[in-house]
Amino acid sequence: MGRKVVEPEDFTYIVLTREGVDESYRYYDHFDSFVEAKKVAEEVTSPAKVVRGRRATVLRFLRRRG
């Protein structure tokens, strides 16, 4: 039997795209739903991945980016 995973409300899903010669990942956008984030990641032309993070951490990261 598998266990049911319940997502806390304070999580958000971040789409990162791989760019440049060093192949580092850069922030693209963030979403409240994994399904939305996955759909956008598939539509982006460069390789992308979706990671889950706490909403407060993501907002702090965005403020620091300017």
Half-sphere exposure in the Cβ direction for 7 (13 Å, CA): 13
From start to end of 5-63, where are the E strands? 11-19, 24-31, 48-54
Residue 12 has what pLDDT? 87
Domain boundaries, the chain: 11-65
How much is the pLDDT for 5?
62
Give, in order, the Cα–Cα distances in Å from 30 to each of 1, 22, 33: 32, 23, 9
**Is 8's pLDDT higher than 70?**
no
The mean of the pLDDT values for the chain is 81
Give me the mean pLDDT over the 35-53 stretch: 91
Mean pLDDT across 25-33 = 87
What pLDDT is attached to residue 26? 85
Containing H/E element for 37? helix 34-43
Of residues 22 and 49, more confidence is placed in: 49
Does the predicted TM-score (pTM) go above 0.75? no
